[in-house]
């Protein structure tokens, strides 16, 4: 593997706490030099929040840094080892094409991973080439930044470079590298790797490291492993509720794609649902709908049960006792999820106080949407902006009855109309990354090197709760197609 230069007076100074873990958890590996890197997208706002002067990363220097040709000061690049259940089957995996350069501590004191995705082969590449292509990296960039603006915890995207090299998939494609920023890349699968392939002491060191890094408040408490498990479950329940509330379908919720930090990671065949339907699946490889929209909460609980299994030795010396404890904790997931989801749904409906029948009110609206093939985002938006008369959905007898119930419900709280509207506007996005818009922007960028649609969509998605007339064309749902939208595992 060709090596990289060390930056002189580099813009970043990275730290490497992950490298202090036992070496079984990673392999030292440098990014493989690429021929002619060029920055095609750069996230200056994110750079600024990281405390980085993005002006230092202009031109060739920036391109070389984001490509891994030039290593930031302090970088100790490594690929992380992990395993995972992929569509239910356990496999040894690891970063096959990603290199963790190190960690950056932001001005606010957050420690964040800086990872290059598509940086070349690693000991975990199995038959793969270690590379990524432009379309999927731009896709991850736009989807992750959209999720961030929608208020969903997520990894971020700092830059995409093209490598000047061709990557062969079904056809020759332009190679690219994404600079990904995340709270960490510790996955459920990292714990599965530890439990399967490492010693109990190594598993404990991973757990202790993760607790210190993500759950410092419980690090010193009695029974911190149980508290850790509870905390991960709570964050995941809240995360999945947010996905459901915005209509996000991850598409490949394998245990290796679930971060214990509670952030959304590994954007592959993900997409946003248009018409409300729990059976919505976009990924071409998800033929049985394992990861369908409506299954996501259940799958998250299944994945967390796999995490809990890895933890048994840390929970109790008696396996039987440990299983009992773990089952109790996992059993709490549906309750936490429902609470988080219902609270979000109340916001979407403009409801401030709590009544038991709120759940039914929300469920009845969703059932109506499903029956009438209605657009999930735009129905909530019409309720928010009082544009009901413009949509057929609201004219049927059942729908009118539902609206009367909803209006009555709103009257049973002290908040005024403007307050209700304000809440609904904060909870119901105007713009989501609709599949046809994402595709058209990627097509223009990849095929014609025209980034204008991409930049425009990105700008609209950066303020998703604002009804800006300039971006009104992004509100429209796609016209019905005889070919349902399909996504392909982003490589
Ligand atoms: P993903 O589907 O992106 O979650 O990846 C699943 C596994 O395959 C991970 O271990 C990746 O690192 C690995 N992988 C995906 N694409 C490649 C590639 N082009 N070269 C090597 N490994 C890859
Ligand atoms: Mg993955």
pLDDT band for 374, please (50, 70, 90 cuts): very high
Residue 119: name the closest of 10, 34, 4 by CA. 34
Examine the pLDDT at 56 and tell me if it is beyond 90. Answer: no
Residue nearest to ligand 1 atom 16, measured at CA: 491
Q: Are 276 and 289 in contact (CB under 8 A)?
A: no
Sign of CA dihedral 454, 457, 459, 463: negative
Question: What spacing in Å lies between the alpha carbon of 65 and ligand 1's midpoint?
Answer: 22
CA gap 161, 232 in Å, rounded: 33
Question: What spacing in Å lies between the alpha carbon of 466 and ligand 2's midpoint?
Answer: 32
Q: Tokens standing for 83?
A: 């395993």
Say how many CA atoms lie within 13 Å of 62 toward its Cβ.
22
Q: Coil, helix or strand for 122?
A: coil
CA gap 115, 78 in Å, rounded: 9
CA gap 333, 254 in Å, rounded: 18
Q: Per the residue annotation, which of 95, 113, 256, 286 is the catalytic one?
A: 256
Q: Are 100 and 16 in contact (CB under 8 A)?
A: no
- 256 is an active site residue: yes
Nearest ligand 1 atom to the CA of 93 is: 10
Note the pTM of the prediction, 2 decimals: 0.96
Angle, CA 436 vertex, CA 433 and CA 438 arms, to 5°:
45
Q: Check residue 225 and give its pLDDT.
A: 95
Residue 458: name the closest of 46, 38, 79 by CA. 46
Q: Tens digit of pLDDT for each residue in 216-269? A: 999 877 779 999 999 999 999 999 999 999 999 999 999 999 999 999 999 999
Q: Are 167 and 474 in contact (CB under 8 A)?
A: no
Nearest ligand, measured from the Cα of 258: 2
Q: Per-residue b/e over 423-449, b at no fewer than 16 CB within 10 Å?
A: bbbebbbbbbbbbebbbebbeebbeee
Nearest ligand 1 atom to the CA of 127 is: 21
Q: Coil, helix or strand for 420?
A: helix
Widest CA span in the chain: 71
Question: What spacing in Å lies between the alpha carbon of 367 and ligand 2's midpoint?
Answer: 33
Residue 279: count of CB within 10 angstroms of its CB: 10
- Per domain, the residue ranges of the chain are 5-182, 188-268+286-340, 349-491
Nearest ligand 1 atom to the CA of 256 is: 4
Q: Tens digit of pLDDT for each residue in 439-483? A: 999 999 999 999 999 999 999 999 999 999 999 999 999 887 766
Pocket of ligand 1 (CB under 6 A): 93-97, 124-125, 128-131, 257, 266, 268, 489, 491
């Amino acid at each position: 593997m060709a090596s990289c230069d060390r930056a002189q007076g580099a813009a970043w100074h990275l730290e490497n706490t992950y490298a202090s873990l036992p070496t079984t958890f990673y392999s030292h590996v440098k990014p493989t030099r690429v021929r002619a890197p060029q920055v095609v997208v750069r996230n200056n706002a994110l750079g600024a929040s990281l405390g980085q002067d993005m002006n230092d990363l202009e031109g060739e220097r920036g391109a070389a840094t984001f490509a891994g040709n030039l290593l930031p000061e302090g970088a100790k690049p490594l690929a992380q080892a992990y395993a995972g259940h992929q569509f239910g089957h356990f496999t040894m995996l690891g970063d096959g094409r990603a290199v963790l350069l190190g960690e950056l501590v932001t001005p606010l004191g957050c420690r964040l991973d800086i990872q290059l995705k598509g940086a070349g082969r690693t000991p975990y590449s199995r038959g793969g080439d270690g590379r990524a292509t432009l379309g999927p990296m731009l896709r991850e960039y736009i989807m992750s930044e959209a999720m961030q603006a929608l208020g969903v915890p997520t990894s971020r995207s700092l830059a995409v470079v093209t490598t000047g090299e061709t990557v062969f998939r079904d056809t020759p494609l332009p190679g690219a590298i994404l600079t990904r920023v995340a709270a960490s890349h510790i996955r459920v699968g990292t714990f599965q790797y530890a439990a399967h392939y490492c010693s109990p002491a190594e598993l404990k060191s991973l757990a202790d490291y993760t607790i210190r890094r993500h759950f410092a408040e419980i690090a010193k408490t009695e029974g911190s492993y149980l508290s850790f498990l509870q905390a991960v479950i709570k964050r995941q329940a809240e995360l999945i509720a947010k996905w459901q509330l915005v209509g996000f379908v991850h598409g490949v919720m394998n245990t290796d794609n679930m971060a214990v930090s509670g952030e959304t990671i590994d954007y592959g065949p993900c997409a946003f649902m248009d018409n409300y339907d729990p059976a919505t699946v976009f990924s071409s490889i998800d033929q049985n709908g394992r990861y369908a929209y409506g299954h996501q909460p259940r799958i998250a609980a299944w994945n967390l049960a796999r995490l809990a299994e890895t933890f048994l030795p840390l929970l109790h010396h008696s396996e039987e006792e440990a299983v009992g404890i773990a089952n109790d904790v996992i059993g709490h997931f549906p309750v936490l999820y429902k609470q988080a989801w219902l609270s979000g749904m109340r916001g979407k409906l403009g409801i401030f106080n709590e009544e038991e029948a709120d759940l039914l009110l929300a469920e009845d609206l969703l059932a109506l949407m499903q029956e009438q093939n209605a657009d999930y985002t735009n129905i909530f938006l019409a309720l928010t902006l009082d544009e009901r008369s413009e949509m057929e959905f609201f004219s049927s007898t059942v729908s009118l009855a539902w609206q009367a119930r909803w209006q009555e419900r709103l009257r049973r709280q002290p908040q005024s109309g403007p307050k209700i509207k304000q809440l609904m506007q904060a909870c119901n996005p105007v713009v989501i990354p609709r599949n046809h818009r994402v595709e058209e922007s990627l097509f223009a960028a990849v095929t014609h090197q025209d980034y204008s649609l991409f930049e425009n969509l990105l700008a609209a998605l950066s303020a998703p709760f604002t009804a800006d007339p300039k971006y009104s064309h992004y509100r429209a749902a796609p016209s019905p197609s005889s070919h349902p939208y399909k996504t392909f595992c982003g490589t």
